[in-house]
Copies of this chain bind each other. A is one copy, B any other.
Amino acid sequence: MRFSSRGQVDPFIVMDVMEAARAAEAAGRHIIHMEVGQPSTPAPAGARKALAAMLEKDALGYTVALGLPELRAGIAALYRRWYGVDLDPGRVVVTAGSSGAFLLAFSALFDAGDRVALGAPGYPSYRQILRAISVTPVDILTKPENRYQPVPAEIPRDVQGLIVASPGNPSGTMLGKPELAALMAVAAERDLAFVSDEIYHGLQYEAPAVTALEVSDQAYVINSFSKYFSMTGWRVGWMVVPEDHVRTVERLAQNMFICPPHASQIAALAALDCVEEAEAMRAVYAENRRLMLEGLPKAGFTKIAPPDGAFYIYADVSEFTQDSRAFAAEILERAGVAVTPGLDFDPVRGHTTLRFSYARQTADIEEGIARLAAFMAAR
């Protein structure tokens, strides 16, 4: 049977790493996982408890497409708590993870043949989802001296949209309010759709993270319960859209998703109140980050972007390799540490970069750093 050409998306190289790590574990080796982009912890206890109770008493049928009204209100309240921003819950769209939000956002904003600018290195699925709906991603090769974030002068002329991420994946770097405002001003001036990926908000360790909504309501802001609330597999996220976009997004959501998973919405609503547990995880990541920022340079990985948030460190390893895939395989083989080659994030320059994740428990991170140091010393 026929295939579409858009079905031909790039493979995720990290999947090969994960497969190789699984094979090594199956053969009896102990592997430290610095390749994964998810917490090792379950959803907050309060979230799981709320769902367990609801399983007894509710049919958990379809919800309305935009999500449970009380969850939309709870998310709006989070913007007051986190940023001091007043947000109309009517502008909040609950989605099937941030993936669902991207599908909805890109469908609402772009037509086949449109071109959309985004930073490289960046989250690989932006590019693949855009291509899957016949939109062309246009990479901005962001500079290490700009902390791998785009600057206004780099925005191409012939695009219809701009996607930014702060904290970024794989870099962990953030855009300050002036930098974000400068990018949004260019977008407004040129009538570009502006999409702000804020999925790692909550996980910042020094300065507070800035939401695009502090600058202007003319943005699609995307976030999720996956990272800060440790709910990756639940597939529940959200999007804040300009008021006049709500109806359009609602109709797309009715047709493309019907609704986000009901059980996950129940758990997410309760998670909003589990501040203590989420903050305890943030403290773990903060300690992990401290260990990484101390240990990686000592091991020899000195060219790293200053990671303001998320749980990643992106390292330039050009002095050691021109083939990050082979280098990652060597690290897995010889050090027993799984790391991600940069090619998933930056097809052009990722052959000389690696991403290290510190989402796991601190003991694992300590062991991983020790193994990396021994590997580099022996190399």
**Chain A 94-110 residues near chain B, CB threshold 8 A:** 96-97, 99-100, 103, 107-110
**Chain A 197-225 residues near chain B, CB threshold 8 A:** 218-220
Identical subunits present = 2
Instruction: Collect the chain B residues with CB atoms within 8 Å of residue A27's CB.
Output: none
Instruction: Collect the chain B residues with CB atoms within 8 Å of residue A134's CB.
Output: 111-112, 133-134
Q: When A15-B254, A235-B96 are in contact, do A4 and B110 touch as well, CB less than 8 Å? A: yes
Of A12, A55, A220, A267, the most chain B CB neighbours within 10 A belong to: A55
Within the complex, the shortest CB–CB distance from A40 to chain B, in Å, comes to 7
In the complex, the answer to whether A9 meets B255 with C-beta atoms within 8 Å is yes
Query: Is A252 an interface position by the 8 A CB rule?
Result: yes
A 127-152 to B, binary, CB cutoff 8 A, 1 in contact else 0: 01100111000000000000000000
Closest B-chain residue to A103, C-beta based? B256
Query: Is A286 an interface position by the 8 A CB rule?
Result: no
Query: Is A318 an interface position by the 8 A CB rule?
Result: no
Query: Is A79 an interface position by the 8 A CB rule?
Result: no
Q: By the criterion of a CB under 8 Å from any partner CB, how many residues of chain A are at the interface?
A: 80
Contact of A43 among B11, B60, B124, B259 (CB under 8 A): B60
Within the complex, the shortest CB–CB distance from A200 to chain B, in Å, comes to 16
- Which A residues are within 8 Å of any B CB, using their own CB? 1-12, 15, 38-43, 48, 51-52, 55-56, 58-63, 96-97, 99-100, 103, 107-114, 124-125, 128-129, 132-134, 160, 191-194, 218-220, 232-235, 242, 245, 248-249, 251-252, 254-264, 267
A-B contact pairs, 15 of them (CB 8 A): A2-B109, A2-B191, A4-B107, A7-B108, A7-B252, A9-B255, A61-B232, A62-B232, A63-B233, A97-B258, A112-B112, A112-B134, A125-B258, A128-B256, A263-B267
- Contacts A1-B194, A38-B61, A42-B60 supplied; 10 other A-B pairs, CB < 8 Å: A3-B248, A41-B59, A48-B56, A51-B55, A103-B103, A112-B134, A125-B258, A128-B255, A129-B256, A233-B259
